[in-house]
Each structure stands twice: as C-alpha cells, then as structure tokens.
Amino acid sequence: MPTMADVARRAGVSAKTVSNVLSGYPYIRESTRERVMAAVDELGYEINVTARIFRSGRTGVVGLAVPELGQPYFGELADEILEAARRRGLHVLIQPTGFTREGELAALREPRRKLVDGLLFSPAALEQADAHLLDDLGYPLVLLGEQMFSTRVDHVTMQNVEGARAATDLLLDAGRRQIAVIGMLHSPTAGSSNLRFTGYREALAARGITVDPRLLGWADDGWHRGNGARAMADVLDAGVEVDGVVAFNDALALGAMYALQVRGRSIPDDVAVVGFDDIEDAQYSMPALTTVDPGRRDIAEVAVALLHDRLTGAAPAEPVLHVADMRIVERGSTPTRR
C-alpha cells in the first residue's frame, strides 16, 4: 500500500505538506494542493481515518444530505460538491433524505452523522418553523436551498424568483401571452415552487396579464419528466391555447416538450419552452432546451469552502448568506432574439 511518503515523493513536496493538505489546512497554495491530490489519485493512497481522528479529532469526511439523487439537479450538484471537496482534501458521505421529514431529521441526528465533521444540508420537508433544529447542533452546517432560513448558520441559495421572472419575461418579449407554468405544488411549504411561481406571476403582472388557472400545471408527485408530461397534458386538455411554457425544472420541461410534440405542437414555433436548472440533458433535447442556470457550480464551490473554513477556523465569525448569480441560457426551444 502506498504511504504518505510515497505521495510526497510523487508530488515533490514534504510529508508534512501532504499531511496539511489531507487535513484541510487552509494556508496551502492551490497549485500545491492540486499536485498532492493528483498524487493521491495516481497512487491510490488511502487515508487512515482512525489515525486521523486520533491525531486531530476530525475525520476529513463531510456529509451531504439532499432530497434525492434521481433528480438531475441534485445529482449534478453532488458531483460539483464532490469535486470541490476533493480539491480541499475532504471526502463526502452522501445521504438522500427522500423528501421526508424523517429522513431530514435523521440526517441531522442519527449515529452515522458522527462519522462526518460537518454537514451540507438541503431540506425539502422541514419547514420554517423547524429552523430552531439547526441551532446548537455541535458541528458546522451549511444550509442549501430555500426551504428554510436561519441567521445562525451559513446559507447558500439561488435566485428563484428572479430566475422564474427572467424566464417568463423571455417568453413575453417574444410575444407569447398564453404561458403555462409546470411544477405547481399544493403543499403550502413548497419553497422552490412557491418562489418560482411568484417570479412567473410578477412577470405577467408587469405586463398587465392576470394568471389563468387553466394554465397552471400541477406536479405534486415530484418534479420528474413523467409528471411534467402529465401536467402539460392536463393543461392542454383544459382547452386553453398555449404558446409558451415555463417549467420549474428542466426535467419537467423535457416531459412537457414530449407531451407537446405528441400532440403535434411545434417547438418553438407553436409553443416556446423554458426550463430551470441547466442540467446536462437540456443541451441534448430536440430542440435543445432554453433554461435558467441558477449558478450550481458557484453554489457547490461556496458551500464547500464555507464548511471547510468553519472546520479549519478560517471562516468569519458571523454566518454567511450567499446568493448565487443566475443567467438565462438560450437554446432552440425559444425563438432567437433579434
């Protein structure tokens, strides 16, 4: 088995430098950190976690609790987090919580959490009234998303309202007026859905357009392709003409595009479609999907950096709130702007 000395020789640094990199020491030149981690990967060096805990009281492992990996956004976010953690010498233990309160409480409390030094936590079932559960946990936590807010922990989120408003404005600017919205949830605590609907509603109101209930596509069973197709079919079956669609994530948008094309609607000539999340699949639909890029890479990088800094004592005293930049990525599912 390769040793730390072998890694040091391969990377051209001292064994102490290797130890500092693997322990998450913050004051290491990035090029040195990358060289050490490349040597670790090449040699297949495995960290002795038991010895690390004995020496430092830390495992070098952080947790990531997300609702599920089956939704492409969370899968791709996990990939970004894994890479950001690897560059800092951290390993990630991923725990899907199943969109359930029980799963999210378990991620905060259960015994396996003791295997990790800190937690990146993306709740979907816990509510704002549960925010006190994040107080005095005894370990660093970075909150992701918009389901809960707390001034006591670091929080990294996105511009949900602004992104949905920009998506709707894009269609309105193209002359579309009968714009369906796909991804509505009946749950009163549906954070992303409510925020994105607010952005849609604000964009319509600014043009003097009222929301038509027949254009609301409900997806209470989850934001997956099949539910997007069913929600789109329900809107079409309501008998209202549709010339645009704003979907609350790209999976819903891809399902909606399928339903439209099955019904003989041309995209974007008859109906223009905008998604949200900029997942990889969005580039390969026919036509390619216009979408909101919510800054996923920035979210992953900042969240891991904050957690790393909390672990090493380099973070600011007060909790940090970071809101990622967003942008519209225009592709073939919307008309080309002149």
Q: Do domains 57-158+296-326 and 160-293 have the same CATH topology?
A: yes
DSSP state of 324: -
Q: Which residues of the chain have pLDDT under 70?
A: 23-27, 47-58, 110-114, 188-190, 338
Per-domain residue ranges for the chain? Answer: 4-46, 57-158+296-326, 160-293
CATH class of 160-293: alpha beta
pTM summary value: 0.83
State how far Cα 88 lies from the chain centre.
20
CA angle 101–309–51, rounded 5-degree value = 85
Architecture of domain 4-46: Orthogonal Bundle (1.10)
- pLDDT value, residue 13: 92
- pLDDT value, residue 64: 96
CB-hemisphere CA count at 13 Å for 310?
Answer: 22
List of residues 6+ apart from 279 with CB closer than 8 A: 72, 73, 76, 250, 251, 291
- Out of 3.30.420.40, 3.40.50.920, 3.40.50.2300, 3.30.1330.60, which CATH number does the structure's domain 57-158+296-326 have? 3.40.50.2300
Separation CA 254–CA 183 (nearest Å): 12
- pLDDT value, residue 50: 46
Separation CA 169–CA 204 (nearest Å): 8
User: What residue type is 6 in one-letter code?
Assistant: D
Beta-strand runs (E) in 67-160: 91-96, 119-121, 141-144, 154-157
